[in-house]
Amino acid sequence: MEAYKKEAKLNKTEVQYLDLIGSVAKLEHTSDATKLSVRENSLMVGHIPSTKYLAIRGLGFGNIARQFAELFSDKIEINTTVHEIVYHGQDNASVKYVDGGKMMQVAAKTVLVTVSLGVLKAGNIKFTPSLPTYKQEVIDGMGFGLANKCAMYWNNAEDMVWPEEQFWFELISTEETKWNSFFNPSAYKDTQTLTAWIGGSDALEMEKLTDDEILDMVVKNLKSMFPSIKRPDKVVITRWSQDENTRGTYSYETVNRNWEEDTEKLRRNVGSLWFAGEATDDSMHETTIGAWDSGREAAQEMMKRL
């Protein structure tokens, strides 16, 4: 992008707008534009993404999943860490995991792996025998990116100095800034709240800073749009690359790879071992819908096998 700006001899306003598009692309696809397939980049031409609201206030994906899980709560172990999955033949497998400091093991006829592509890339789980070469190759080669948020809350209604009904604010600045996209769910939350977003290499770099350092940057950008805004009363900042259960956020299409082939190989079962998750969905990756649908399809195939 830097080379393009020099070659095209853009004026300051055009450069500022191009920088904003690049920033938004990092949020949408969790990676810098130079790493993205042209199919991903083409979606960003002249486009600022909108947000689709899929749940009523107070519901959300987490509560929906929890309601489904209630029927099986006595069979679900939470706050545990899977260390190894052993799979043999078509209907013989076991999972070794740590629960309360103790190594446990459960036997099964089939196992469904739904951890993120980031966890698979990190090698947090040992597979015995090792995964087939073709599957390990797509795990290593597929893109898995990073986006982080700085969620801010204000206690008093008079602190809301931004338009309550406008969902997104995008900062175009003469300076080189980060944290340029702000989501405003105040009308949905019945409280004064804004969420700043950052993606790609910028998000990874920001994880090295303290919460106070990050908030200083975010508030500075907010003040350039709303000069009278106060520092928030409560702040929550994510660092998803450091979370051992995710190691990032979601997948993206990389250069010189066939996405449909990669996702098919990633979700293809190996004997008694099955795979699901957003990165296994060829059309709805990056989304909760892709994760949900892939899990349902894998479960149906496992039921047929059983």
The secondary structure of residue 36, as a DSSP letter, is B
Mind giving me the DSSP string for 117-163?
HHHHHHT-SEEESPPPHHHHHHHHHSEE--EEEEEEEESSGGG--S-
Numbered ranges of CATH 3.90.660.10 in the chain: 2-51+146-242
Q: Which of 237, 155, 229 is nearest to 191 (CA)?
A: 155
Instruction: In the chain, list all ranges with CATH 3.50.50.60.
Output: 77-138+266-305
Give per-residue burial for 53-79: e unless 16+ CB within 10 Å, then b: eeeeeeeeeeeeeeeeeeeeeeeeeee
High-pLDDT (> 70) share of the chain, %: 81
Using one digit for the tens of pLDDT, what is the confidence trace for 232-287? Answer: 999 999 999 999 999 999 999 988 899 999 999 999 999 999 999 999 998 888 88
Pairing of strands 168-170, 181-183: antiparallel
Q: Is 32 exposed, middle or buried (0-12, 13-18, 19+ CB in 10 A)?
A: middle
What's the whole-model pTM score?
A: 0.82
Secondary structure tally for the chain: helices H, strands E:
11, 13
Confidence category of residue 46, pLDDT binned at 50, 70, 90:
very low
Residues contacting 72, CB < 8 A, separation 6+: none
What integer pLDDT is reported at residue 150 of this predicted model? 97
Range in 48-57, 131-140, 293-302 the model is least confident about = 48-57
71-85 pLDDT, tens digit each: 999 988 888 999 999
CATH topology assigned to domain 77-138+266-305: FAD/NAD(P)-binding domain (3.50.50)
CATH architecture of 2-51+146-242: Alpha-Beta Complex (3.90)
